[in-house]
Amino acid sequence: MDNQMQVENYKIQKPEVWAGNIGDQEIIDRIKDSEFSRKQIEEGKDYCYFLDKKYYTSNNENSEYVCMAYTLNEPGNLERASVSDVVVEENEVYQIHRISVLRDGVLIDKIPDTRIKVLDSENQSSGGVLSSNKKINITIKDLRLYDVLVLEDSRIKEFTDRDFLRKEFSKYVWVSPDNYWAYGHFKFTFINAREQTIAYKKTFFRNEKGEVLEPEIKFLKQGQCFVIEEPNYINTVDSGREIFPYVDFATESSWKDLSNYIAPLYEEVSNKASLQDFAPNLIEKLEAIADQGEKIQLAIEYVQNHIYYIFDADEMNGHKPQEPSVTYENKQGDCKAKSLLLKVILEYIGVEASVVLVNFNTDYYIKYYLPSLLSFNHAVVKIKYKGEEYFVDATTRDEFGLIENRGFMYFMHYLETKKDQELQVRKSHKFPYYCVDEKVDFNVKGNIGKLNLVTTYKGNRANAMRRYFKSTHKREIIDSWNSFLFYGFNYSNDRNGTDIRNVFKDAEIDVVSDDKKLNEMKIQYTATVENPYYVDPQNNRFLMYFDRNVIKASARDFMHKDLPFWHSFDSEKYEVNLYTDQKIDTGEKYTVQESTIRNPYFEYSSRKKVTKNGASVYIESNPLVNIEIPQKDFEQFRTDHHTVADSNFGLGIDIIEPGLMNSLKFSFKKRFK
């Protein structure tokens, strides 16, 4: 084993008293084959003979203990077991108690064959991410197929003064295990060694029929334990359509109590110094602007772009923010620091603002979680202006616009850092503008088509498109548009394999305008297309343009039983004009087909205008977003999206070929249609 042991990151020792002690003979006795284990192994799966996991929490530490024995019958599993990584936080110690294999009935100690290296976390200081985490790399020599690997280890996290929140509050979520594994014996124990009572809530557990049971909340006093124990256990969750059962543990509290705990922390640092004292230059710029909306824009963009975002993983474990004067002077800070500085600036210009806590990753679950400040991992700013509520992430960059034109931030739950607050739920949202407004003109004369496409992007779409144009080579951008149009005009079905640059000749794309106040970016794409008609196997010619972005496959394919559908589609408007010098079938079903959908969660219309030489379609989609669609409403929502996909997302026109025979064929087809 590597002699350069860094004991501050890992140790090789016996388990702590709370974890218990298991001897070699007991390990051997517990690794017994059974009808249950043989069935799993015969199916080609690895098998876990036992898994014993314990979580221990006190006012001084959070620690986890695991003892497990599992087969190495699959080459991939053997490879993963031979080389593994464990990431530990600052002041966290990884304790190795046992690394053994059971081979031919003999328990062999593999610690002498183990090489351990301690590495810096590879993302340290990358993109403003500061982390004291260490990665412990563990390599075990001479593991063999059909060994049974026995691992026993712990992670001990002792609290420092910086972990004041963890000292005061506990938060842990136990999630039922991966359903790949079968367990001869599965046991999880939560040990409360804290002075405070810990509540626990079992959520998404199911009865024998697979129906979700009502959540239940119970309590653990100091010294009490919660235990889940299952023999011959396989998690039966349908992972693609069901949420894994979990138990949420949190120090007993209410949202109101938590807001009253945290509010003074923000009040204290925000009142230490006035903006006039530490930011006179910024005040001078603000006061030079007469329009209030433009002042707000300057405040937001100053904090977003001039204050460097530092994500300190260790500092995020607590909730005490940095003073705004320090953030301004150092020109850097984490999400709490940047948000608080923006709040102070906005309040100086007379705009109501507050810092709110969110968690975009687990936003859906917060309504099920027990109240806990440790459920949040990010801070943003809530702004009230002209009777509307806006949310701004002070850590983002390259976002523009007056506040009503800025990008929309999707999330549902938040807690304001003010006194006497409850967990709040955001309102649903309708865009006051079209996120995408596109006009397509395709004019064909002879065998040449002239294509002109003008698109206006607003809000999030404008911000994203600016970044794309800024970071991507123009040739690549043109190829991307070419590829999209290759499918939009249905050329993929009659000339697949053709170089798209030979289909769309002289293609150009340019930014026509970019209004940073309206947050509106307009681009224009032009190209010439030889052989512009799609030709079917019967040599019938068509002009087609169908934008598959209008079809929302995620809505049509959604099948989850527990998660409601999260509605976050953009508002869209399209005008498509297809014109030719040929005669067209003005009565063709799909050419004239229109649609109107008035769903509670989106309104959609497709209107047509048809002439003897062409047609136009006008499409508008106005969704109600930032909302979960209840299961009782979802099937109609899905059906309405199927209606959109039924040729209501574009336009197609049929060419009537010249000549007497073709005219007769057309008349015959119309008569017997």
**What's at 336, amino acid-wise?**
K
Residue 95, sorted as left (phi over 0), alpha (psi -120 to 50) or beta, turns out to be beta
The predicted model gives 146-157 an average pLDDT of 97
- Per-residue pLDDT for 670 more than 60? no
Reading the block at residue 190, the tokens are 């939560």
**pLDDT tens per residue, range 492-547:** 999 999 999 999 999 999 999 999 999 999 999 999 999 999 999 999 999 999 99
Please report the pLDDT score of residue 626 as a whole number: 97
**What's at 167, amino acid-wise?**
K
Integer Cα distance of 169 and 174 in angstroms: 17
Neighbours of 636 (CB within 10 A): 13
529, 598 contact by CB (below 8 A): no
606-to-146, 442, 613, 616 alpha-carbon distances in Å: 63, 19, 20, 10
Integer Cα distance of 437 and 619 in angstroms: 10
Please report the pLDDT score of residue 311 as a whole number: 73
**pLDDT tens per residue, range 268-281:** 998 888 999 999 99
Q: Count of alpha carbons within 13 Å of 251, Cβ hemisphere only?
A: 20
90 pLDDT tier (thresholds 50, 70, 90): confident
The predicted model gives 139-159 an average pLDDT of 96
478, 526 contact by CB (below 8 A): no
**pLDDT tens per residue, range 410-419:** 999 999 999 9
Residue 500 CA, chain-centre distance (Å), reads 33
**What's at 409, amino acid-wise?**
M
- Per-residue pLDDT for 127 more than 60? no
Reading the block at residue 630, the tokens are 């209840």
What's the CA angle centered on 479, arms 476 and 481, to 5 degrees?
A: 115
Closest CA to 136 of 155, 163, 151, 150: 155
H or E element in which residue 190 lies: strand 182-192
Please report the pLDDT score of residue 239 as a whole number: 87
**pLDDT tens per residue, range 538-577:** 999 999 999 999 999 999 999 999 999 999 999 999 999 9
Q: Count of alpha carbons within 13 Å of 497, Cβ hemisphere only?
A: 1
Reading the block at residue 194, the tokens are 């804290």
Q: Read out DSSP for 426-476?
A: PPPEE-SS-SEEEEEEEEEETTEEEEEEEEEEETHHHHHHHHHHHHS-HHH
Reading the block at residue 511, the tokens are 């930014």
**pLDDT: which is higher, 93 or 90:** 93
Say how many residues make up the chain: 673
What's the CA angle centered on 543, arms 538 and 546, to 5 degrees?
A: 110
pTM of the model: 0.90
Closest CA to 530 of 489, 473, 585: 489
89 pLDDT tier (thresholds 50, 70, 90): confident
Integer Cα distance of 261 and 318 in angstroms: 13
H or E element in which residue 488 lies: helix 474-488
**What's at 131, amino acid-wise?**
S
212, 205 contact by CB (below 8 A): yes
Integer Cα distance of 95 and 67 in angstroms: 12
What 8-state DSSP symbol labels residue 672?
Answer: T
**pLDDT tens per residue, range 342-362:** 999 999 999 999 999 999 999
**pLDDT tens per residue, range 304-318:** 999 999 876 445 445
Residues 348-362 as b/e (b if ≥16 CB within 10 A, e otherwise) read bbebebbbbbbbeee
Neighbours of 375 (CB within 10 A): 23
